[in-house]
Amino acid sequence: MTTRSEREKAQKLNEQHQAILSKMLREEDNKYCADCEAKGPRWASWNLGVFICIRCAGIHRNLGVHISRVKSVNLDQWTSEQIQSIQEMGNTKARQLYEANLPDSFRRPQTDQAVEFLIRDKYEKKKYYNKNGINRSSPKDSKKEKEPDRGSKVSSYTKSEESRPAPKISPAKTSEPPVNLLGLVVLNKNVHVWL
């Protein structure tokens, strides 16, 4: 059971999170769904950092949690990690990242099926993804070791290579024919000689 003070603390934290989300939804680009541009999104994919409408939220849920983690902006409880993730991205940065290579003639789809194709292309296949990325730091990124620049002379040996097992080396071939346990020498596959 939780104590009264713990419940009050959790409620206060939830109110702070709701205030942050409400403020973010007032930003111009977050007023529209990141995928179909429907007005007034009330859902979010917190790991992708985008605000989305209810129709696109359903499609995001079908992608699986390994791609998109969906929450209601005002019906669900949010953790500090989830709030931080959505604050670091938002629809503007997400478009710079996931829609960087959209064709010039691109028009937002409106049918359910076309919207689903767009969402799968954007987040699952990363068809329009900016491989150079944008500056987005996350708690996971700060724990990773920084790799040296390609131009530096420092070895690119990483910790993951350190834990890899040594490659297996096949034994050297000998000119002696193999001997089986029965004492037979195999001269070829059809002829056996007793020793």
Any idea what DSSP says for residue 163?
Answer: T
Q: Which residue has the tokens 């059971």?
A: 1
Distance of CA 3 to the CA centre of its chain: 37
**pLDDT tens profile 179-191:** 555 665 656 656 6
Three-state secondary structure readout of 15-54: HHHHHHHHHHHCCHHHHECCCCCCECCCEEECCCCEEECH
d(CA 155, CA 38): 49
Reported confidence tier of residue 132, pLDDT bands at 50, 70, 90: confident
Q: Could you give the C-alpha distances from 23 to 69, 74, 177, in angstroms and in order?
A: 21, 12, 79
What is the Cα–Cα distance from 133 to 94, expressed in whole angstroms?
A: 10
What is the per-residue pLDDT for 192? Answer: 56
Helical ranges in the chain per DSSP H: 4-25, 54-63, 80-88, 90-98, 112-119, 139-143, 159-162
Question: How confident is the model at residue 161, as a pLDDT?
Answer: 39
Asked if 87 and 16 touch (Cβ cutoff 8 Å), the reply is no
In tens, the pLDDT along 154-179 reads 333 333 334 444 444 445 555 555 55
Inform me whether the pLDDT recorded for 82 exceeds 60.
yes
Indicate if the pLDDT at residue 104 is higher than 60: yes
pLDDT tens readout for residues 19-65: 999 999 999 999 999 999 999 999 999 999 999 999 999 999 999 99
- For 64-76, what is each residue's pLDDT tens digit? 999 999 999 999 9
